[in-house]
Amino acid sequence: MLAPGLAALGHEVIGADLPGQGAEVGIDCTDPVAVDALVADRHPDAVIHLAGISDESSLPAALQSHVVTTGALLEAMVRHGVPRIVYASSNHAVGRTPRAEQVGVDVEGRPDTFYGVGKVASEALLRLYVDRHGIDAVSTRIGSFRSRPNSRRQLSTWLSHQDAIRMFHAALTTPSPGNAVLYGISNNTRAWWDLEAGRALGYHPEDDAERFAAEIEAVEETEKDRAEAAHVGGSFATPEIERPAFD
Ligand code: 15L
């Protein structure tokens, strides 16, 4: 979805994924040697890092999947002079934050899962490389990336496909962001994450989950809906997802 969307805005996109997944380049981003060879060979202007387990896992798997991949990409970028990375972080980096009117990008890292820990640690790694090497890094704390919202929580957290394209385009093209963080949600009437940081970077979302509200609210509110409403991270901040750190 993202690759053709960015191509339509004039970007030349090289897609990379695990071998056998149908991407132009088959690569395991946890392998720093392979990542280095790819960056040296194709020398992109920027990296968009979407690789990683998108759900909860063991602690070692989360660290490998989120932090080691980010480290491999950053090392290769610095070695080969690639100046910018846009990172798919997540709302789960701050998922244990109680729901408030507006959650800004400056709230403390407060993960709700090992997945969230991986995102906080990756954001910290980006910060280190910005400070050490002067690269630009934009962490997009993505909400619920879906073709449409499917729950009460997602009336607040939805990120539409078209807004995701707008968001990554802005993060790639905004002048000199340094180390920046934004919330990756659409222009939702019920948003509780502050969109100002994104707007300052040129991200102007156009979709609003509200047009699905009547349909979603026609179904009776469940216990799960109520539990999801307590914290930013929704179900990731409930006891059902808790698991031991090690398999
Ligand atoms: C995420 O970061 C996850 O990758 C996805 O599975 C959803 O849980 C999403 O956040 C969300 O919060 O809705």
101: pLDDT strictly greater than 90: no
Q: Which atom of ligand 1 is nearest to the CA of 154?
A: 13
Instruction: Look at ligand 1, atom 2, and give the residue with the nearest C-alpha.
Output: 90
What distance in angstroms lies between residue 54's CA and the mean position of ligand 1's atoms? 7
The percent of residues above 90 in pLDDT, for the chain, comes to: 99
* Nearest alpha-carbon partner for 137 in 204, 198, 48: 48
Which residues, 6 or more positions from 154, have their beta carbon under 8 angstroms from its beta carbon?
143, 144, 146, 209, 216
Residue partners of 88: CB distance under 8 A and separation at least 6: 48, 49, 50, 52, 140, 142
pLDDT tens digits, 27-78? 999 999 999 999 999 999 999 999 999 999 999 999 999 999 999 999 999 9
Q: Is the dihedral of CA 165, 166, 169, 170 positive or negative?
A: negative
Residue with CA closest to ligand 1 atom 4: 54
Q: Over the chain, what is the mean pLDDT? A: 97
Residue 199: the pLDDT is 98
Mean pLDDT of 110-137: 98
Q: How much is the pLDDT for 221? A: 96
DSSP codes, 26-85:
E--TT-HHHHHHHHHHH--SEEEE--S-SS---HHHHIIIIIIHHHHHHHHHHHHT--EE
Ligand 1 pocket, mutate which of 53, 65, 99, 145 (most atoms under 8 A from CB) = 145
pLDDT at 234 (0 to 100): 97
Residues annotated as part of the active site: 115
Residue ID of nearest Cα to ligand 1 atom 3: 54
pTM: 0.97
The pLDDT, as a whole number, for residue 8 is 98
Q: Where does ligand 1 bind, in terms of residues with CB under 6 Å? A: 54-55, 90-92, 142-144, 157, 234
Here the tokens at position 114 are 């090992």
pLDDT of residue 100: 80
37 Cα: distance to centroid of ligand 1 (angstroms) = 31
Average pLDDT over residues 75-96: 98
Q: What is the pLDDT of residue 30?
A: 98
CA 103 to chain centre: 16
Angstrom distance (rounded) from CA 169 to CA 203 = 8
- Report how far residue 144's alpha carbon sits from residue 234's, in angstroms, rounded to the nearest whole number: 11
Q: How far is the CA of 21 from the centre of ligand 1 (A)?
A: 21
Tokens (6 digits) for 6: 């960015």
Note the pLDDT of residue 102: 86
